[in-house]
Structure 1
Amino acid sequence: MREIIYIQTGNVSNYIGTHFFNTCESYFTYDVDDKVKKMDQIDHNVSFREGVAPGGQPTFCPRLLLFDEKENFGALPKINDLYSPELGDEIAAWGGDIGINKQVPIEKSAYQRYLDEGEDEDSDWFESNDQLLHSVRYWSDFNRVYHIPRTLQPVPFVGTRDTNDPDCVTYWADGVTTFQRECLDNDLMDGDFRRFVEECDLLQGVQTTFDASKFASFTTSMIQLARECLPKTTALSFMVNCVQNSGLVNTHDPTACRAMTNASLAMCALEEYSDVNVPLLHPLVWRTGAWTRNLTYDSQSLYHTTALLSSHLESATLPLRLKSPGAGLDLQALSCQLDTKFAHLTGIFPTPRVDALEKSDSDLSHDFSVEVSPQQITHSSRRSGVFAEWGVLRSTSLPLRDAIEDWIQKTVETRYPFVNMTRSDIEYPLPFSFPRLFNTSSLSADLHRSRHTSSHRSLDTVPIYSALRCSAALSSYFNQHYKFIDTFIRGGTDLRFLNPDGDDGIGKDELREVREAMLKLRDAFSTSDAFENEEAWDEDGRYDIY
C-alpha cells in the first residue's frame, strides 16, 4: 500500500502537522459527485491506518508518532472518544473513604466544543464566530482528526532549561538523554514505532517534521535508530530552524550559540541517516514581499503561518499519496529526482491571476527554507542555479496551468528530466479549520467557490504550486552555519554555552568536524567562488551571512 509513518516533534512542527492531517482528512468524501471522483485519486492508506476501536467500530487514524511537551497538548486527551473504555460495574478494592485530588482541566476551544456537538460544519457559524479561531492557544485547538492512544507521546525533558521561556533551546546532550530514557521507560522504538512498521504491507518510508530548538538531538537520535532498524527505508525530514538562526548571531549569546550548533549538528546527522532533508525558516523571521500581496495573515500567529507552511509541505508531497500508477510516486522516486541529501521548499500560494503571472518574475514565489538577499543571488543566477526540482502544480484551470508553467520556464533555466512536474486537478482544499488568509479581491476569478460571499470561507479549494528544489541558494544556508562554527572555534567562545553543568559534551574536536561538514556542503552547492576570502567574524564576535 506504500505506507508512510509520520513523526512530529515540537510545538511548531505539531502546528504544521495538525494543519497537514486536517487537510488529509478533508479528502475523505462520502457523496457521489465530481468532487468525490477527484478526491478518489488519493490513497488514504498511505497516511492513515485502519483499526478497530474497543467498542467494535472501525477507525481510520493517522499513522503518526507525535511528541511534544505535556503543556503544549492543551485539552487533547490521550484516550479519545473512540477508545474510551466501556464503563462497567466498578469493583471496590477498598471500603474506606477515598480522597481524590484533580488538576483543573484545560478548557476545550470553541471549535472543539462545536465539533463535539456532532453538528455538520456550517460556514454561517464560522462567519459569526470567526474571532474564536483567532484565539488558538494550542495546536490541538483546531485539530479535526482522532488519534490512537500510542500516537500521543508527551515528553518530559531532562536537564537544565527554562520552562517559562518559549524560545528556550535545549542542550544537545539533554535531548539525547531524553530519547534514551523514553526508549528505556516506554519501549518507544521496539514498542510503538515497531507496531506501526508491522502494520504496513509495503512501507515506502518515514516522514519527519521536527523543531530544531528543543527536539533536534531527540529526533535525530530517533532517525538514526530507525535507519539502523530499517536500512532500506527512505527517510524524508523537515527541520524547523530556531528563531535565532537568522541574520546576525552574537557568539556571546548562549541561546543563539546553542540554536546554531544544534541545527548544525542536526544537519550532520541528517546527512548520514536521512535521504532527503529540508530546512525550514522559523515563521517569525519570514520577510514580506510580492508573495504576500494576496495574503492577510498574522505574522505573529503560529496558527496562521504554519497553515502556509503546511499547505506547501502537503502539496509538495501529494504525489506520494496518489493512486494512479503514473502519478503515484514514492519517497524513493523523490530521493532519486533530487539526487541530493538537501533541498529547500518553495512555491506560490495562492496563485494570482493569469495576467499577474505573465508580468511577474520569481518574486511571486517564496523560499521557506533559505533567506537570500537580492545582493547575494541575482535573477540570472537564480535561473541557472537550480540543479533539480520536484514540483507539484494543482489547478483545474488550464489557462492558469499554462501561465504557471510559462512562469516556471521563465524563472528556472533547468529543464526535464532535472525538473519534474506533477500536474493534478485536485486543488488544495480548505477545511473549516484553515484560517482566513486570503485577499480574495485580488485572486483569480477561476477559484472554486461554494458560496458567493466576501470571505475565503466561500472558497472550497485554491490552486497552488509547491516544489522541493535543489539549488545554489542552499550554499548560503550552509555558509551561514560554517561561518558561525568557525567564529565559535576561533573566537574562544565558552563551550559551557553548549553543555549542561558538569557535562563534557560537545568539545572543539566535535565542532571542527561539524565545521568541515558545513564547508563541504557549502562548496557542494556553490556555483562560484563567491565565498572565497570572506571575513568570517568581526571584533564584536558577530558575523553577517551576507
Structure 2
Amino acid sequence: MREIVTLQLGHLSNYTATHLWNAQEAYFTYSQDQESPVDHDVHWRPGIAADGSDTFLPRTVIYDLKGGFGSLRKINALYEDESAAVQPDVPSSSSVWPGKSVLHKQQPLEVSAYQLSLDDGRQPERLSKSSVRYWSDFSRVYYHPKSLVQLYDFELNSSIRPFERYPMGVELFQTLDKEFDIVDRDFRPFVEECDRMQGIQALATLDDAWGGFAAKYLDELRDEYPKSCIWLWGLQSPLVDVTREKRQLRLTNTAQAIAEVRSSASMVVPLMMPERGVPSNTHVDPTSPWHVSAAFATAIETANLGSRMTEKAMPHAPSMWDLAEGLNTGGSQTLAGLRLGVGAVAGTLDDDNDGVDLFSFGRLPSLTGKQTKRGRLFGEVNMLRGSQPDQANVAEEDARQPPRRLVGDPVTQKFNSSLKFPILDSFPHIYSESKDQPEIAVQTILSTTKSVGTHVKALKAQTVRSVSVDERETLSNELAEIADAYQDDWSSGSDEDDD
C-alpha cells in the first residue's frame, strides 16, 4: 500500500482538513458494481470498534487548543463501550484528600443541528456561516480516539493569553515533548500500522504560534523518519480588520516558520486567500474560516489527487516524492506556489489566466497593488480534474517536447482525471457554478518560479528587524538562502535588500 499519515495543527488547519476528509468520504462506494477511482487505504485505516464491527477511519493526528474541538467527543459512537469502562467523574478512593470531593463540570456545548441530522439519518439542514461555530460542526466522519489531541495550556480565541507568537509554539512543543515525547506517543502508532508509508502531509497555520509548534514537530519527524517525504501545507489567515501591529506580527511569524521548516519538509506550499484578483465565479467571505478553508481544501485535494488514485483510474499516478522532485529541480527549491481554477476556469490556467493565486505572504508593501511576474519556471505540476483536454492538442504538445530533458530545462508534469471535486451539503456555496450541482471541475498548478524568490526577499526585508538582535542575522541568512535558490543563474543576488 501507499499510506499517507496526516498531521493537523491549529484551528484553521482543522477546518481545512475537515473539508478534505468529507471529500474523501464521498469517494466511498457501497455496491459491488461500483469501483472507486480512489485507493482508500492511502488515507484511511481499518480497525475494529468496541462492538467488534469493522471501522475505516482517517490516518490523522489532530491537535487543537482547549475549546477548539467544539462539541466533538474524544470517544465517539464507535467506541462507546470502551468509554463506559472509564469513569473519570468518580473520585478515587485512594485520594490523599480526606474531605468530601465536590465535582464541578463545565456545561457541554450543544451539538450542531447538522450533526444531529447526520446522527438521526435525516436530510441535513443547510449550513450557514453563522451556524458553523467549530470545524466539528460540519464533519461527516468519525475519528479514532487516538487521533484527537487537545492542548490545555492555551485556550482558543483567548484575549488574555492568545496563542499568536512563534516562540510560544516552540516553547509549548518543547515542554510537552520533554514530558511525553509527542511523536512517539501520538504519531508513531499510526506509522506502525502502515505497510509501505508513502509520506507525511501536514497542515499548519504559519502566521501564529502554530508555526513554531509545526517547525519543531516536523524537525522531530525528520529525525525519526529521515527518508520519508514530508509535505507542509502552510495556511495563513485573511487580514480582515487586523491592526498594523498584528499584521506585522503575523508576517514575522510566517518568516520564522518558513525559515525553520525548509530544512525538515520536502515541500512547503504557503496558502493565503488573495484580497484582489479572484475570478467572478468564486465568492469567499474572508471573515468565515468555513469559507476560506473550503477554498484551501479544493486546491489541496486536487493538487495531490494523484498520490491516492488507483493505477486503473490514473496510470503512472505520481507519488508524493514524484511531485516533490518535479518541483524541486535544483535540490533546494522546497517552496512552491499554488494556483486554483474552478468551473469554467478549470483547464484554462496559464500566465494570462491566473485563476486564484494562493501564493502570498500577507500584505507585503513591495508587492501590493501590482502583478508580480513569475519569471523563469523551474518545475510545475498541472492537475486537471473533470475536464478532459483536447487530445489533438495534447498529442501536438507531446510531439514538440524533446526526448531528453537538458540540464536547466523546466520540468512540467501534467495529469488528468475525470473525477470531479465533490460539492457536499457540508461545503459552502463559494462557487457560483456549483449551485445545485454535486461536483465541479477543478484545475491546480503547483510551481516553482523566480517569483517565489521575489516574495521571500520582500518577506525578509519586512520582518528581519522585528525579531530579537540575537535571531536577526540567522533569520536574514535563512531567508536569503531560500530566495537565492530561485535565481535565473548562478549569481546569488544576496546583496539585494541587505540590512
**TM-score normalised by length of structure 1:** 0.76
Q: In the alignment, is residue 365 of structure 1 matched against residue 368 of structure 2?
A: no
The 5 A counterparts of 1:48-447 are 48-85=44-81, 87=84, 100-119=103-122, 122=123, 129-130=125-126, 132=128, 134-157=130-153, 163-164=158-159, 169-172=164-167, 174-212=168-206, 213-241=208-236, 243=238, 253=245, 255-281=246-272, 283=273, 286-289=274-277, 291-324=278-311, 326-339=315-328, 340-352=333-345, 357=348, 362-370=352-360, 375=370, 377-378=372-373, 382=374, 384-397=375-388, 418-440=411-433
Cα distance per residue 1:453-476 (max 9 Å; x no partner): xxx452121111012111122122
Which letter does structure 2 place at the counterpart of 1:188? I
SS at match of 1:144: coil
Residues 237 and 12 from structure 1, CA distance in 2 versus in 1: closer, same or farther, beyond 3 angstroms? Answer: same
Give me the whole-angstrom Cα distance separating, in 2, the residues matched to 1:58 and 1:317: 28
Task: Quote the RMSD (CA, aligned, Å).
Answer: 3.6
Residues 352 and 134 from structure 1, CA distance in 2 versus in 1: closer, same or farther, beyond 3 angstroms? Answer: farther
The 5 A counterparts of 1:18-37 are 18-31=18-31, 36-37=34-35
* Alpha carbons 2:484, 2:492 under 8 Å: kept: no
Give me the whole-angstrom Cα distance separating, in 2, the residues matched to 1:350 and 1:390: 19
In structure 2, the partner of 1:6 is 6
* Alpha carbons 2:128, 2:428 under 8 Å: kept: no
In structure 2, the partner of 1:544 is none
Cα distance per residue 1:134-162 (max 9 Å; x no partner): 52111111001100011111113369x98
Which letter does structure 2 place at the counterpart of 1:102? K
* Alpha carbons 1:296, 1:439 under 8 Å: kept: yes
Give me the whole-angstrom Cα distance separating, in 2, the residues matched to 1:323 and 1:242: 34
Give me the whole-angstrom Cα distance separating, in 1, the residues matched to 2:342 and 2:117: 29
Return the offset for 1:377.
2.9
Which letter does structure 1 place at the counterpart of 2:152? P
Return the offset for 1:190.
1.4
Cα distance per residue 1:526-545 (max 9 Å; x no partner): 449998997789xxxxxxxx
In structure 1, the partner of 2:403 is none
* Alpha carbons 1:171, 1:258 under 8 Å: kept: no
* Alpha carbons 1:110, 1:132 under 8 Å: kept: no
Which letter does structure 1 place at the counterpart of 2:485? A
In structure 2, the partner of 1:449 is none
Residues 41 and 401 from structure 1, CA distance in 2 versus in 1: closer, same or farther, beyond 3 angstroms? Answer: farther
* Alpha carbons 1:111, 1:132 under 8 Å: kept: no
Cα distance per residue 1:156-202 (max 9 Å; x no partner): 3369x982289852241x22221123234444211221111111100
Return the offset for 1:399.
5.4
Give me the whole-angstrom Cα distance separating, in 2, the residues matched to 1:398 and 1:391: 12
* Alpha carbons 1:16, 1:306 under 8 Å: kept: yes
Which letter does structure 2 place at the counterpart of 1:27? Y
Cα distance per residue 1:407-444 (max 9 Å; x no partner): xx9xxxx999711011111111122211112223xxxx
For structure 2, which runs of at least 5 residues remain unmatched after alignment? 94-98, 362-366, 401-405
**TM-score normalised by length of structure 2:** 0.83
Give me the whole-angstrom Cα distance separating, in 1, the residues matched to 2:86 and 2:12: 43
Cα distance per residue 1:356-378 (max 9 Å; x no partner): x59x9633412101265574534
Larger helix percent: 1
> When the two structures are aligned, how many residues end up with a matched partner?
468
* Alpha carbons 1:351, 1:465 under 8 Å: kept: no
SS at match of 2:104: coil
Residues 399 and 332 from structure 1, CA distance in 2 versus in 1: closer, same or farther, beyond 3 angstroms? Answer: closer
SS at match of 2:8: strand
* Alpha carbons 1:53, 1:82 under 8 Å: kept: yes
1:41 aligned residue (31, 37, 51): 37
The 5 A counterparts of 1:455-494 are 456=434, 458-486=436-464, 488=465
For structure 1, which runs of at least 5 residues remain unmatched after alignment? 441-455, 499-506, 538-546
* Alpha carbons 1:485, 1:511 under 8 Å: kept: no
Residues 17 and 189 from structure 1, CA distance in 2 versus in 1: closer, same or farther, beyond 3 angstroms? Answer: same
SS at match of 1:292: coil
- Percent identity, aligned pairs only? 28
Return the offset for 1:100.
4.2
* Alpha carbons 2:346, 2:384 under 8 Å: kept: no
